[in-house]
Structure formats: structure tokens, C-alpha cells
Structure 1
């Protein structure tokens, strides 16, 4: 089976069925059942197995299913009802006409010039059942495998072929009864759609779909004639429409670094016709890839996606709509039939392929390298996990893996004030010390009766005096023979070592954190953090105290390890953003922060286990402001292994924005999608 993993000119391709024959035989045996022994119940039973669907990228899907995935019948769901269009000058086939999925009375169906100059009267195609597919591919059952075999070619005038062969999976008795036999690759569909939109919006050379040849095809189709190329002397020039040129200066300044421009800011940077596209497409993929999906919302998601695709057809060139854009219209159907996407996408397999590639030491024989390394790793893991302790092999300490430094230590002797703040931060977050804090507060109220109702003064006084009071309290309790003070409390009362090791990088619960100085010298950002905590808010006018729960944003400036002699605690010192002057919600509902507006100078420390990593992306519209991107913790102990491929990035405080503008039923046929000011580009 290793030959299936090695791509190249000699890869199996459509002849993959030859390699899959042993697998099909095993699946047939599992379908009829095998007698196995249950060691727990001490009895035998019949074990049966079934293959629900295959998981692969789109080219491999074509090899497994036998479908033709290029040309006029490129969609494996619509097959001969794909209704593709050939752009002669652009020399590519595109799949448009997504108005077929709209309701019959939708105004978009009647608009001509905004789309392909035709009214849409057809309804959405009904996918073929497995039995119907089997009936159509039966004539191909005698397909001859082999790269040297002469395959029949399509002749002009004949119906265009849909399948190249009959899939070997139809040898399984139950295969024809499944509505979905080969799942679509959401990972690459999302990637290709975002790359196409970004490349066109920012007019990235080599990535943009807005080209001169496409403009010529648009003129031949009779749509958006104002965008056709214009002859001017020896050079041909044409006007750039609103969805490419506005961002040209910005992207040039960023050296084509698309990641430096926030996705939601891309829509703001472009003209009005391109504002809604990006933040219409991305929330769809975020919703459809969620671990929990409400079934009653799937119909609304599908209708919103179809309208989004129609909006794209109105404002973007036809070259944007390759088969990957079209396949997105079938994703909701797969969710209805197969369940959540994260259980059947390509992320785990792509990551495992990366592991296999790391095994290759001799590129002339990659299969042998992978086989030897896999067997060696399996043997070592068996010894580590199941055998007695062996010389040279020791089991992994998961607790040490949760908290470990990623750089060498630098010893410092902080000021008494800084050490007091760090020690107090750990004490306040120790559940075992809660009774002592309550007792100390009662002591302060009794000692300072004049400030009995001044909660702010009492809190500041407790922060100032609690460590010394706590140390004396534990010392007095230890004099009592019947004292039940635990060792941990004793160590905490003694306080940390005055010499503190600091690090530039630290791993906490599998997440890598770095200081701001270290991030400035690297290409990645690991210093942004946020913490959700309760705080005490004092009203300026009447001095009333209000307890609120809020999310605080900051940047790690240093990483300490507090040494309590018997254990160490990682603690981060951060520059926190002022919640009043440095945090706001923009018009689209996203959180933006000003990292130069600092606050909470008397409380800079936070425990490493309490923070959540965030990423700050510079806002191209407002200087000194950054958009907050929240990164989910993929290494949580409760996470499943199947979910480790998730790379979801969540925009902070995302609101449920209106997905689509109101559709005007009397929209003008000749509405223009160009910017008000005309910008011309010379082409040779």
C-alpha cells in the first residue's frame, strides 16, 4: 500500500483499483462477518465491518470513483448537468449558473446583464443515486488497466464522457445503496476559494483571476461591456474594476504578504461591490466545520451560500468560478447525509503524510525508508508503553510535557515589589488558600472599622499585606501539634526564591508562548495573550463598586519560573491594554486593540495556565490598532485525536452580521460595478 503514498509520474492514477483489490477482499469478508473472541466477556461473537465512504482530495476522488473531474462534467455530484462554460480566450472551463439553486421567484433569476446575459429557468440538478450510477458505469466494467493501454478517446458529436471506469468499490454489495460514497475535500475547497478571492481582490500577480483574456471573453458574452479591453495606440489598456485595484498600493507595500492583511479588512479596503464577499464566504466555512451543527439551520446556510455565489457571479469575472467554487454548493448536502465535517476531512491525513515524508532519508527508495522507520517507531513505542523499564528507554512524563521551557534560563534578582506582585498572583489563584483570604479580609475589617464600607481600599490593603500576614499565620499554626497544614501551604507561606530564572519561550499545555522580544526576531507570533477574569470597576462619579467579568488583552514581556524549592510555577509578565482607551469594537463587530495604550501597571502578572493565545494583525486602516484573532487550544486534554487537524481561527467577538444586502427586485439591468473614479492600466 505504500506505493499509493508516493506521487510522481509513475503513481497509480486510474489504475489504483489494482492496488485496492486486497482491501476490497478484506472488506467483503468483514461484511459477511468474522468470528472473534471477546477477552473481557470470555465469549466469541461475529464481528462485521462496513466502509461508509472514502476520504481524499479531489484528484484522488476522481481516481477512486472513476469520474472525470475536468472539463464540462467536472462536478462529481451534478455530472452531466454541471452546465459548464468554455472561455475560449482564457482557455479554461468554468462552472457558473448557480442561480439554478435559487427559489423559482427569486429576482436574480430574471436579471440578465448582471450574470451571463440569460434568464435562468432550470432548477437545481438532482444527484444520482448509487444504483443509477452503477447502471451507467456497467458498460465500463471491462475497462483495461495499465498506462500502456490505449484508452478510447472522445469524438466530436458524441456525448461527453462522465466516467473513465467502473469503481472497484461497487464490488461491495452495499456500496450502491449509499447516497454519498466519496466525500468532498472541504479542506482544499476552502483553501482554493480563499486563495482565489484573495488573489483577485488584491490583484496578486499569478494569483488573480482578473486578466485581459477574461475581459475579452466577457465582451464576447455581452456582459459588463464597460470592462472590455480598450485599444489605445500600440498598447492595449483596460480599466480595473472595483474588486482589484483599490488594494494594489496596500498589497505592494506589504510585499504581497496576504497574511498581513486581515480578511475582514480586505472587504473594507475594496469598493462597495466587493465589501460583502469575503465576510460572506468565510463565516460559511466556519459554521459548516463546527463540531456542533444545528440541523434546522442547514437550509438557511444553503440558501445564504447560494446567494453568496450569485453575488460573486455579479461582481467577479467568470474565470473565478472553477470547479472548486462550484463544489461548495454541495457541502451542506453532505453535512445532512454524513454528519459533521471535522470527522471526515483531510487534516489528519495530511499531517500523517508529513510524518511519513520525514522518514525519507534516501529519496531513491522512499517506500523502504518509510517502512523501516515506521516499524522501528512502532517497536520503540511498544517497549516504552507496555514493557518493563529498559536501559535507554524511559516513559514520557506527561506532566513535564505540559510545562517546560523552550530556551535557556537567565537568572535575575527582581525588585521586592515585582517579586511581591508575582507571588501574590499565584496565591490569589490557589483554591487551597481561599479560606485564608477570607480570614484576612475579616481581620482587616475589624482592624480598620473606618474603611469597613470602602471595598476598594480594603482590597488594595489586602494585596499589600496578605503575603506577610499569611507567612505569620502559618508559622503560628505549625506551633500547634494538632495542626493540619499541608506541605503545599507550608511551601507557599515561605515564599519564592529571590533569584528567578527567566525564559524567552515556554510551552504550557502544548501551546508555545514567547516574549515580545523573541517574536520581533522571528516570523511567527506567540506573545499575544488574553485572559478572562473578574475585575472591580469603580464609578468615577459616585465611587460605586461594580464587579464585572471581562476579557483582557496583552503581550508577554517576560516569562518567570517562581521557585518554591519543591516545585516551580510558570508565570507571565505582560503589558496589558487599557480597557477604556485601548479596546473597541469596529463597525463589523470585531475587537481591535491599541497595544500602545497600557493599563493595569500594578497587576502585570498572570499564571501561564490561565491565558489563551491570541494573534494581533495590524489594521491597515487605522495606525497603531490591531485586530484580535483568537486561536483555539488544539492541545486541550479533552480534545479528540480526530480533531487535531482543526486549524480554525476565530475572530474575537464576531457578531451575527447581516449576510446579504436586500435584493432589489427592480434592480437596473445596466447597473455598473466600477469605482466612481476611473483607473487605467497599460498592457503590452
Structure 2
């Protein structure tokens, strides 16, 4: 299910751009168009006439301008409208609802909600593609052949179960977020909540407008006075006062005394990571205080990490971690020829510690890592699967908070022992004001290891 020509918006050299039979028998090699600026759109519609209301039915267009009349946006009459990067903030909640209903309705074949019907299949005949999906007329009526996305009854149950049980990180990244801020500050829910606040201002139902105006002015006056108070923030979302690369421990920590064996594991990790900082090494060699503070969350490098215990109480998942590290590898236990190679580790954060070395503090994660031997694999779609039930590396469970990449796990309904690994995009970006505000195009190298082979659909050509 895709729009013709929309494969250009995938990352460059994506395998889907070179597949033919799966789409419209053509490769998609064009580059995605960059969003037009307001000045460019205004230049295209500047000469067009427009009017308000409906046009008379008996009127006829006399020139090219009148044929396209009514297409020029009325907001361009505002002086600053053409200078806005985002001219229309669409409501995310309704868009997600409509798109989700269309996708789920098509996959589950819900009557009235599915986008796959007789008219859709006849469009394929007009386009000259996917002849095997055209409607078949028989004695018992017209039937639609099953498509690649047609699910059986058991597959529909697994699909619904996955949607119900799935937890994802709390991020939402699109171009508009970069320009307009977080989605939850500008979708329609925000205005509906504000209407609820304004309605609560009404004390005299005979004069509701006066009550709202009086209470609103009083609230604005109080917030104005707060600006002159020292170290007092106005009501709203607390501004983040930490550096992007340093990190921030989330509140509600507790002090505990740690066993000596765990201290040894932490010291090994710190000594390996701080070998170029002599002053820090002296304090590390001296040792931290015997008590550590345990936290439930930590923010660093654009990620928000939580412990598994906290994730179990929430509807999102922020405890999955991935680490790509160099390690010694041997073929058998008696092999003395160690080989240094790159290895991937997947795990779940169990505890977050803050080590106090008097002069500085170091946050570390205590994780349960999945075994690397026969518990990490790739399926035919190029997805990474890991068995989180088989825990390994029990003597090396600590990492620095700055080291891991955040991932989240989706249970494989065909085999619940395995979980699909999906990398979490960063929640924040560092960029200067001179960079392009268009969509970012990624260059994919070795993408054939991540997606299905192109030959799957074009092997007969």
C-alpha cells in the first residue's frame, strides 16, 4: 500500500526504490522535492483571482486565470504569511486517527473502513500493473484475490495483540517539530483543555463572557508580576537546564549501600573509559563513596532512559539499550589467538546509579544483556531479533550512561521468545540557524542487510 511516486521520500538508495513488480513496474530514481517557501508559492499564484463564497452556476471562465480562480489561499493577504516556514499546522491527533483507521481497516478488512475494494482493484487494471490482483468474476459473484497484505484470522489476532501490548518510546520527530516545537503543545487537545479552563472561570451563568474576561485578566496580571520575582518560573513546562551531551538525572533517587563484587565491575568499566584523563583517574583510583544514589530515569544525548521497573508502570518503553563495542573473540575455550572484533549487545536497564567521586559524579547503567551466542539473529526481512530471556555477560553488566543507543523491543507473535529490535531516533537535535530547514535525506550504505532483497520481486526479469 503506497502512493505512486512517493518512494522518492524514502532514504536515498533504499531497496524499495529499485523494486518494480511490487509497485508500478517502474523504478523510483527521482529525488524528493524540497518544500516550497511561502515566497515561491505566492509567486505561482500571484496573478490568480479568487473570491469568497460560491461562484454562480451559469458563469463561465473566460481566461486561464479564471479557470484556476479560488485556488489562491486567502491567508496570503496577510503580510507576514509568505515568510512563515510552516503556514498550516495540521492537527496531528486527527491525522493519526484517520491514517491509523485506514491502515488498520485495510489490514483487518473491516467493512466500510478498508481502502482495498473493487474500485481500487480496477485502478490497477487502468494502470496496467499487478494483473493478478484484478477482480475475478465467477458463478458465485465477483471476488477479490488475496493481496500480500491480506491476513488470515490467526494473523489478525496476532496483529491486534501486538498493537495492544506494544510499548514505544515517548518521541515524535517530524520536520514541523523542529520548526514549531513539540506536537503536544499545538495539537487540538491543547485548545480543548484551554476551553475547559475558560469554562471553569464562569461563576455567574448570566454573564459568562464577563466572568471569563475578569478571571483571565487576573491570571495574566499574576503571571506578569511573577516575572519580577527572583528565581521563580511561570506556570508551564519546566525549561531544560542541562547540556545536551552531559545528561540529567530524573528525580526520586534513593541512597543504598552496594556489595563489593558490584564495585569491582563498575571500577573495571570506569578505568577502561577514563584512561586518557589523568586527573579523573586519580579520583577513580581513590574510589567513590560506599553509598550510591539509585534513580529511575536519566536524560542524555537526546534520549530519555528509564529502568525496567519504571517502564512496567507506564505505557511507553524507554529501558531498551544497544551497545556496539570492540571485544575479544575466540573460537573455543582453549584458543589462545584472541581476535578483536566488533560485537553488538542488546539489553534492558535494571538500575541507574550515580557514583560520587567527591570532585565529580558519574552515572552508570546496570543492565541485563542478552547472550550473543545463538540469541541474536536476523530474519528474512532484515530485522534484528533477540531473545531477552537468555541473560549473559552477568559479570560485565555496567556501562556509562553516555555509551548506549536507545532501542525498543516488539514481541514476535509467531514466536514469543523473540523480540524485534527497533532503534529509537534521538529526541533532540543540535543545529545552527544557517542549516537548511527542509527534510533531511539520509545516505544508506549496506542497506541490503536491513531490508528485503530487490531480487525478491524482480527475479524473473
With the length of structure 2 as denominator, give the TM-score of the two structures. 0.62
* Alpha-carbon distance in structure 1 between the residues aligned to 2:231 and 2:151: 65
Pick from 380, 384, 391 the counterpart of residue 587 of structure 1: 380
Pick from 148, 151, 155 the counterpart of residue 55 of structure 2: 151
* Alpha-carbon distance in structure 2 between the residues aligned to 1:256 and 1:154: 56
Partner of 1:534, secondary structure, is strand
CA drift of 1:610 comes to 0.9
1:209 aligns with 2:115: yes
Whether the 8 Å CA contact 1:590–1:652 is kept in 2: the answer is: no
1:563 aligns with 2:356: yes
The Cα offsets for residues 408-451 of structure 1, whole Å up to 9 and x where unpaired, read as 223332321012211332222114457xxxxxxxxxxxxxxxxx
The residue aligned with 2:29 is none
Matches within 5 A, 1:241-390: 241-255=146-160, 257-258=162-163, 345-348=175-178, 351=181, 354-356=184-186, 358=190, 361-362=194-195, 390=230
Pick from 539, 552, 556 the counterpart of residue 331 of structure 2: 539
- Evaluate the alpha carbon distance shift between residue 652 and residue 371 of structure 1 in structure 2; reply closer, same or farther with a 3 A threshold: farther
Partner of 1:543, secondary structure, is coil
1:164 aligns with 2:70: yes
CA drift of 1:589 comes to 2.6
Whether the 8 Å CA contact 2:244–2:302 is kept in 1: the answer is: no
**RMSD of aligned Cα (Å):** 5.6
CA drift of 1:579 comes to 1.7
Partner of 1:491, secondary structure, is helix
Whether the 8 Å CA contact 1:528–1:556 is kept in 2: the answer is: yes
Q: Which runs of 5+ in 1 are unaligned?
A: 1-94, 99-113, 116-128, 176-180, 263-288, 290-341, 384-388, 435-485, 666-684
Whether the 8 Å CA contact 2:330–2:337 is kept in 1: the answer is: yes
Pick from 248, 251, 255 the counterpart of residue 404 of structure 1: 248
- Evaluate the alpha carbon distance shift between residue 194 and residue 363 of structure 1 in structure 2; reply closer, same or farther with a 3 A threshold: closer
The Cα offsets for residues 527-546 of structure 1, whole Å up to 9 and x where unpaired, read as 11011222112332642011
- Indicate the structure (1 or 2) with the bigger Cα radius of gyration: 1
- Evaluate the alpha carbon distance shift between residue 494 and residue 615 of structure 1 in structure 2; reply closer, same or farther with a 3 A threshold: same
Q: Which has the higher contact order (CA 8 A, sep 6+)?
A: 2
Matches within 5 A, 1:45-84: none
* Alpha-carbon distance in structure 2 between the residues aligned to 1:630 and 1:257: 18
The residue aligned with 1:428 is 272
* Alpha-carbon distance in structure 1 between the residues aligned to 2:441 and 2:313: 26
Pick from 554, 563, 574 the counterpart of residue 367 of structure 2: 574
Whether the 8 Å CA contact 1:556–1:574 is kept in 2: the answer is: yes
The residue aligned with 2:207 is none
Whether the 8 Å CA contact 2:366–2:399 is kept in 1: the answer is: yes
* Alpha-carbon distance in structure 2 between the residues aligned to 1:430 and 1:221: 62
Whether the 8 Å CA contact 2:327–2:340 is kept in 1: the answer is: yes
The residue aligned with 1:39 is none
* Alpha-carbon distance in structure 1 between the residues aligned to 2:391 and 2:269: 19
Whether the 8 Å CA contact 2:258–2:291 is kept in 1: the answer is: yes
1:625 aligns with 2:418: yes
The residue aligned with 2:16 is none
Q: Which runs of 5+ in 2 are unaligned?
A: 7-22, 25-39, 168-172, 200-211
CA drift of 1:663 comes to 7.6
The residue aligned with 2:232 is 392
